[in-house]
Amino acid sequence: MKLFRYRGKRIRPADRDLVFRSACCVVLPVFLAAFALLNLKTILQTDWRRLFMLGVGGFGWHMPYLLLSSIVSAAVAGTVLVLLYRLFPDVVRQLMHRQKLARMVLENQWYEQAERTKQDGFFKDLPSPDTKTKIARFPRMYYRMENGLLHITAEITLGKFQEPLLHLENKLESGLYCELVSRELRDGYVEYTLLYDMVANRIPIAEAKAEGGRLRLMKNVWWEYDTLPHMLIAGGTGGGKTYFILTIIQALLQTDAVLHILDPKNADLADLSTVMPEVYYRKEDIAAGVSRFCDRMMQRSESMKSMQGYKTGENYAYLSLEPHFLIFDEYVAFMEMLNTREREDVLNKLKQIVMLGRQVGFFLILACQRPDAKYLGDGIRDQFNFRVALGRMSEMGYGMMFGETTKDFFLKQIKGRGYVDVGTSVISEFYTPLVPKGHDFLKEIKKLTDSRQGVQAACEAKAAEAD
């Protein structure tokens, strides 16, 4: 146990003007230094005792030059201030954040006041001002920036301001232009961890890679499918849903993963049937594909226990088995095509996959425009630990996606932008990997498929020679 834990800079009432005071601490010394250098000869030759008696005008100083040197000194000080802002943006940002936090506490009056009575006025026969108030106790709040993350810690004292301090996430997100990453309650303190400027954490498609049982989607966002399996994607037309799915496919094909793709609308994903196997778009083939995927999962579940090196509690990766992914686009549209019996059969298969798939390495990626509870009932939706909502959605749509939440959702006209829950019940802003203009998914996926087939053929030939 650490005896001392550094929480950051203490937020104090005086910080309400922190940016101005900090700027003055920089500007004034620079201004005085520049002014002194420009007037060094005059300053050295001046008889200061005589100056105080006669004044500047009477002493005969050159006033136009004095004014010009003042303007030049002010320009130098302003230039230094701009350079510091450009060279040290994080420092300036921290000052602004601390100032906003101080003003938040002061304007909401989250502090204890003590009254101080003024006893005597200047005229004793007139009533003196009643009272003056001062801050008796300012809440302990700390701020620090570390590895691109903001850590804001507030003390919990069981006082009357406990409730607002325990639920600062909305104020912090909107006021500091950040996204909440985690909220952790410690002994006597609550710590909010936020990420500043989410769009700066967007990655190009080349950096979207899967390794070690997780897929990187942003600089700070991973889909850890080995521990938090199954992904649910929702988004309307033009939100970037298709490009996001294609990005996932391209990233997974760079590993040994086996992909099964279903596209009931015979749209962009169906085109992959020309370059890779296990791609289906007809109604009967899709239903059969779901059933086949579930059967393979059950077969692996049985065969794993008889494998050499099997250990209770370990998953498929421990036995060096490849993961399988069922990528199901336009799921709700497909369910609308089925009759009641067919629909129940598909739902039962999907239920088995989401319940049993993690241990054996069978994962489901489900995409739709809106996750209607009619087709995701019986607790199936709760099994999707990683959820992404892209593009414009209604409040009802966000509720279907993330459940009850106090999160404020904002629309930005950026393709591939949305919100994500990585399995921590914390909803954050999300940007899909950036696809460069002219990127040909079909061509790139064909290269990866051909490369995998070549490696597989070489391995089979080597095995045949060994026999």
Give the C-alpha separation, 244 to 286, whole Å: 21
Q: What does residue 420 show for φ and ψ, rounded to 5 degrees?
A: -140, 145
Q: What does residue 316 show for φ and ψ, rounded to 5 degrees?
A: -60, -35
The structure tokens listed for 327 are 């990528």
The residues of the chain that CATH labels 3.30.70 are 103-196
Fold of 103-196: Alpha-Beta Plaits (3.30.70)
Per residue in 124-180, pLDDT (tens digit) is 555 555 556 688 888 899 999 887 788 999 988 888 888 888 888 888 888 888 888
Contact 452, 253 (CB under 8 A): yes
Residue whose entry in the numeric block shows the structure tokens 């009575």: 117
Residue ranges in the chain modelled with pLDDT below 50: 1, 54, 56-59
Record the pTM: 0.74
Residue whose entry in the numeric block shows the structure tokens 């999707």: 384
Residue whose entry in the numeric block shows the structure tokens 């999300």: 430
Give the C-alpha separation, 398 to 400, whole Å: 5
Contact 136, 170 (CB under 8 A): no
pLDDT reported for residue 295: 92
Q: Tell me how crowded residue 105 is: count the other CB atoms within 10 A of its CB.
A: 24
pLDDT reported for residue 99: 93
Which residues lie closer than 8 Å to 316 by C-beta, 6 or more apart?
300, 304, 323, 359, 360, 361
Full DSSP string of 283-326: HHHHHHHHHHHHHHHHHHHHHHTTSTT--TT--GGGGTPPPEEE
Q: Please give the share of the chain, as a percent, with pLDDT higher than 70.
A: 88
Residue whose entry in the numeric block shows the structure tokens 């950036």: 434
By CB atoms closer than 10 A (0-12, 13-18, 19+), residue 138 is: middle
Is 3.40.50.300 the CATH number for 217-303+314-458? Answer: yes
32's enclosing H/E stretch is: helix 18-38
Q: Tell me how crowded residue 201 is: count the other CB atoms within 10 A of its CB.
A: 17
The residues of the chain that CATH labels 3.40.50.300 are 217-303+314-458
